[in-house]
Structures are given as structure tokens and as C-alpha cells.
Chain A
């Protein structure tokens, strides 16, 4: 259960960015989590409000974009989706692939409330 650590790290990032942009509050936080990132989206969703309590992001909505695992085949050049524990080329079945997506753990964007003046 390292999602609380991840949520706290996320919150420190959010606080820094909110400070830099002189935000009054953070209304929304969008992250992108791939199946091979090691982060369980459901646990992160539960940990975030606890980490954010009392901060500038208290009550912010956490939106989690999920993305599939994608591989690029070094043998036939095809690219497509694969299971997290079977990174075979969807076209030719080769295991000579590299990951093209699915291990993302990104802060995508923030929705900031700022003073208009």
C-alpha cells in the first residue's frame, strides 16, 4: 500500500504548482496511471482526499485517466495493446518488444481557482 506515499508526493507537487500560480484553491487534479506503473488507481483515489485534507487542494476532484499497455514489436514493427504480464506482439506473437505505453504515472493537469484581478 504505497499509494499513500504516491498521494503525498502528488500533493507536494500540486501545492508547489498552486503556489507558483498563486492559486486560491485547486479544484481538480488529473493524473494518468498505466497498469505497469505499480499504482492501483482505486487505492490512489482513496488516499488522495486524505493527503489533500487541510491543503490548498482540500476537496479537489481527482480524475484518473487509465491507459492500456501498448508494445512496439522490434521484429515486425507492429504496435498494439498487450496484457500487463504478457508483453507479446499482438500481430506476430514475438516477445522481442519494447513498451510503448502503460507504465505512465503522470500529473496531467490541474484546475486552479485564481483571483481574476
Chain B
């Protein structure tokens, strides 16, 4: 019996022969998601597709905005849409009715999309000839903010029927936004407790210079600014200096 070859270990004393040691790691908790997001990003780059992650509370008007957007871009930029939804395919059907490819991602009980769900859905979508892929996330201002999908930009909608302090209440989400849209602006005259200036001040409190646009998809107000932003972002993809897609989440994670 010795202490080197293991012959001293019996089933009875095995436990005491085990050692505890610390293993330093320092790795992002969502490293697996981030790897898949990078893979999605390469896929978009290969096809020259601008990928946008649309996030908001439930009912802020993401689907209506997309319906109006794909109509307005017809004849110019061709669009496709991935729609995350907990239980129905209502939104995907609404968008498909406009003649653009729309794939439903059923998330079941999951409150957000992740890079793997988007990757799986991309297997069912031909990106050839597509200029812009909109990814309509699950309506939720909390969970989707933590998951990089491989998108180029995050677009966050804040409808004027919500509180104008939402950016201060959901800093993780609004800090991740590359563009904020104040939606349902046609209701501003009756929503007298929503002040767009207060919403912008709350947004600026997050030290972000993300542009904020005010629009109404239903009435067509302010749509020109949004469509110009889309065209500019898509054109930037063709210029290598600006095209580099950047991950938007967790710069300090890894």
C-alpha cells in the first residue's frame, strides 16, 4: 500500500482520498449563446443581410410597425421577418399576408428569444435576395435584453400609452437600444401624461446617444425618419468600414 498509485483507496475510504481544488474560470455565463450569436452574425454577413432585433413591451406596436414597414419598403428593400411568440402564430400570419417571408418561432413558455432559437428558425428561411431581416422578439422589456441573437442593431419601441419613465425602469433594455421608437404617436394628443421630452431625458440618463424617433405606424406619421434610418443602416453594410457588426451585449462579460 502506498500513497502514489491508488492502491490504498478502498470503497470505504474513497471519499477521504478526494481533494477539493478551486478552478478559476472567468467566462461569460451566456458564452454558449454568444458563440451561436456570432455564428448567426456571420450567416447574416455572408448574405449581406441587415438583422434587426425589435423589442418592446407586449402591445407596443411591433407587428403593426413591421406591417407598415414592409409595405413602405416594397420595390426598394426586400424584407423577411422572424417572429417570436409564446403561443400563437397570429403575428407571423399578419406579416406573411403582406407577401414577405415570415417564420414563426414558438417559444412556448420562454419569455425571450435566444441565439439558438434564431439559428434553428434560419434553417427554415432562405436569405438569398433579402436585404433586411427583422427579428420580432417576445413582448417583454426584461428578458430579451440579456440575449444576443447576432443582430446588427437593437430597435426598442416605447409606445406613448406606457409611462414616459420606462427607460429609467428598464435600464438594461434601453441601454442596449441602438434606436428607440416612440410608437403610437397619433395618440399623444389624448395621452397628456406622456411627455416625449421626459422619455428622452430618461433615455439620456443611461448615457446613450441612440436616436429617438417619434412615429405612428397606423397614421403614417414619422415613418420617413424610420425608413431613412433603415436605408442608411442597410447601405452601411455595403461599406466595409461601417459594416462590422458589433455584439451589443455584455462588453464586460468575457
8 A Cβ contacts from B94-127 to A: 110-112, 114
8 A Cβ contacts from A28-80 to B: 31, 34, 36-39, 71
16 contacts between A and B (CB under 8 A): A2-B147, A5-B114, A6-B29, A10-B29, A13-B32, A37-B146, A39-B146, A85-B167, A85-B168, A105-B253, A106-B254, A107-B25, A108-B24, A113-B19, A115-B18, A117-B17
Of A36, A88, A101, A108, chain B has the most CB atoms within 10 Å of the CB of A36
Question: Chain B residues with Cβ under 8 A from A97's Cβ?
Answer: 207
Task: Bin chain B's interface residue count.
Answer: 35 or more
Q: Report Cα–Cα, A115/B251, bound state, in Å.
A: 37
The answer to whether A6 and B23 touch across the interface, beta carbons within 8 angstroms, is no
Q: Report Cα–Cα, A88/B207, bound state, in Å.
A: 7
The answer to whether B25 and A2 touch across the interface, beta carbons within 8 angstroms, is no
Question: Chain A residues with Cβ under 8 A from B142's Cβ?
Answer: 2, 38
B115: shortest Cβ distance to chain A, in Å? 11
Bitwise interface map of A from 92 to 117 toward B, beta carbon under 8 Å scored 1, else 0: 00011111010111111111111111
- A97-B207, A107-B27, A112-B21 known; A85 vs B32 contact (CB < 8 Å): no
Q: Please give the residue numbers on chain B whose beta carbons come within 8 Å of chain A beta carbons, in ascending order.
A: 4-6, 9, 17-33, 110-112, 114, 142-143, 145-147, 167-169, 171-173, 175, 202, 204-207, 250-254
The 7 residue pairs across chains A and B that have the minimum distance between CB atoms: A117-B6, A2-B143, A38-B146, A87-B207, A38-B172, A85-B171, A85-B168
The answer to whether A13 and B250 touch across the interface, beta carbons within 8 angstroms, is no
Q: Please give the residue numbers on chain A whose beta carbons come within 8 Å of chain B beta carbons, in ascending order.
A: 1-2, 5-6, 9-10, 12-13, 17, 21, 24, 27, 31, 34, 36-39, 71, 84-88, 95-99, 101, 103-117
Q: Of A34, A39, A84, A111, which contacts B20 at CB under 8 A?
A: A111
